[in-house]
Amino acid sequence: MTQPLALVLYEKLLPGTQLVNRLHDSGYRVVTVPGVEALVSSAEKERPMLVFADLVSSRAKVSEAIAKLKQNPTTTHLPVVAFVDEKDVASQNEARSAGANLVVNESALLPHLQHFLDQALHID
C-alpha cells in the first residue's frame, strides 16, 4: 500500500515546516507547493489526498487559489484545510467562502493535527 499524499502550501516557515514534518511522522508523503499560483496545477499533477494551505502569502490571495481549486472539475473533491492566525478573521471568512473544508487557528494546527486530518477526510 502506498502512503497517502498531502499537498502543503506555506510561505511562513513556522508552522509550515513543522506541519510537513508532522505529516511525515504520521505516514504521509508530502509535496510542498512552490507558490500560490501553482496550487491548482500541483494538485492536478500530484493527485493528493488532501491540501493544507497557509492563508498568509505576500504574493497572492490564497483564498482565490482555493476557489480555483474548488471550481476545477479534477480537484473539486479535494479536502482543503486552511490555517491562519486566529486574529485574521477576514482571511478565515474568505477561505470559508472560497470553499475550504476546514479553517483552523495555526496555533491549534499541530496539537490537533490528527483530529483535523480525521475531520477533513471524513466521508458522509
pLDDT by residue (tens digit) across 55-113? Answer: 999 889 999 999 999 999 999 999 999 999 999 999 999 999 999 999 999 999 999 99
Whole-model pTM: value is 0.94
Task: Report the percent of the chain where pLDDT is more than 90.
Answer: 91
pLDDT band at residue 1 using 50, 70 and 90 as cut-offs: low
Q: Which H helix or E strand runs over 50? A: strand 50-54
Q: Give the strand order in the sheet containing 80-84.
A: 29-32, 5-9, 50-54, 80-84, 102-105
